[in-house]
Chains A and B, each alone.
Chain A
């Protein structure tokens, strides 16, 4: 018998409706789990217990009155990059350690309007700058599968909170892999949607042409349920797409017989860790068993992904972080941590007079070529699969003094951001020392429904998501 906090969103929804238990009981179980592992995992920056229980009580009343909302009474956590009215929003940086927004991000408002209960704000690499979860000014998050290892970043606390059953789902942002990498390192499902499919309004900006807003869930079906709430055009974000939204769960049971799935050969090179490769090859066999046709495809510009990304992203970071002047809100620029300083300076340099053409313009041209690689591939196939990270989770401290080495952890994830395509990270097994391994399923822009369909078939066949970290 599962504890309440271990339920998936869809299980909890059905049982709340059946009045098996109350939303207050569900939220209480989550909060007690958050508190129990607060020190050990450092997944949360702010816990909002009182408000959460008040909202749960309201949800219970609505349920009793027969109301039905998509996430009514479901406890969630938010990456501390999402503005929350009246609740501290820090970006895990000392610059914003006392900042209290006067408004909710659009995504937060949508989740609340759908009946979700916000339990708290999760830890991250400050400003979402990082691949390990160690760059937080409030201390590193730890991997619940083995606390000596990194949980992956930047959405470290959100991934850990879902993996360790502190909430039923959590939000994240993915600029170069910040949802998929921690999802992969924690054995949970992570969705990076199409650029512009979910509003960025009110989410502290990292690199505006790459940022996409997604979430972590225990199952692929739950990911679709949340996407039903968050996707859609927003007048407050001019880059949101006008395409209509529909029920993204409608293809979950369709199976994948006859689908054409490509393996980009540049993603599965000799640089990939042996155990990651073995798990990936095993996954490919499962897709074949499920009836998909597997093709090898070539995305020749993949190897330039990180180089283009480390020009485009810091350039946009330097511009977005220029607003922090310590006057209107937040502390002064002396409070930025090392990684923010590095990226601000790198971007300032690549955008500076005389260097713009050689760096930023060049990278934007390479962006065209990387996008064309994907466009060409998707003319012939339905989706691409690859490992999420070239390596297994690494030990805390291992890469912290070598920024370039840390940056290369995102080699397999950045190109999806560069091309604006969606990608779903799903659990794909474990290493010999029981650390999670994941694969990502990428599709053309606006193909999230197909990614859920593929991910769901794979998940039902493998059931890796049922394995949980052994927390002391």
Chain B
């Protein structure tokens, strides 16, 4: 199964990418996982909308983010990417 990405998601990645050098690797991993196991994320209260939590190393420790994606039983679409709130 392929994974589609919305323009909104791609824009978020561009915004964050300069600070997080390994974001692309983590997103490729999420794509790989969800193409095999689309429900591997955590379901939200919105039907079909999931969060796939990731973390990335930084110079001082780590940063946590969530990929929000839709799965309609057939396709996976990455909708948004957001840093975790403290």
Tell whether A pairs with B: no
